[in-house]
Amino acid sequence: MGDDLNLMIEAADRRGRDVLARGELAVAAAFDARSRSLRIELANGAAVEIPVTEIQGLADAEAQACAEVEVSGIGYGLHWPRLDLDLSVPGLLAEVFGTRAWLDRQRASRAGSARSEAKASAARLNGRKGGRPRKSDVAEAEKSGKRMR
């Protein structure tokens, strides 16, 4: 048990040194209400700006609450006291803006709202045929080997 613990501590220490060496720690963070974006200045001199609409926990938050961002500890995290929200800087830099389920819902909402002439044409054609086939009809046709028109 003791050897395993020492190995785990050494591995965590190596990962921490790697993060420090890459400069993935925040030295400052601020919310820009005009563009509704979060600006993070990093220890390596770089800065990133992320629209808060892309970050779980901030997407629907009020501007005043978003503006209360604090850099946590040595710069590994960001904290919003009013929102009780903590995010890791390396996670944000890796484009991990929320949980997988939240990100999937965001992508699906954008995909479903896409408008194109091809989509409109397909909808008109389906309308002339009586609308989109019911899922049960499609499943039944697949079982019997029939082709849906």
Q: Which of 12-16, 67-71, 92-96 has the highest mean pLDDT?
A: 67-71
Q: What does the block give as tokens for 11?
A: 């591995």
Q: Which residues pair with 9 in a beta bridge?
A: none
Instruction: Specify the pLDDT at position 143.
Output: 72
| Residues of the chain above pLDDT 70, percent | 86
Residue ranges covered by each domain of the chain:
25-105, 116-149
55-64: per-residue pLDDT in tens? 999 999 999 9
Looking at residue 65, what is its pLDDT?
A: 96
Report the 10 Å Cβ neighbour count for 115.
Answer: 7
What pLDDT score does 1 carry?
61
Q: Which residue has the higher pLDDT, 44 or 79?
A: 79
pTM tops 0.85, yes or no: no
Which one is predicted more confidently, 123 or 67? 67
- DSSP state at residue 48: E
Answer yes or no: are the C-beta atoms of 89 and 47 closer than 8 Å: no
How far apart CA 35 and CA 40 sit, in angstroms, is: 14
Between CA 29 and CA 11 the distance in angstroms is 29
Architecture of domain 25-105: 2-Layer Sandwich (3.30)
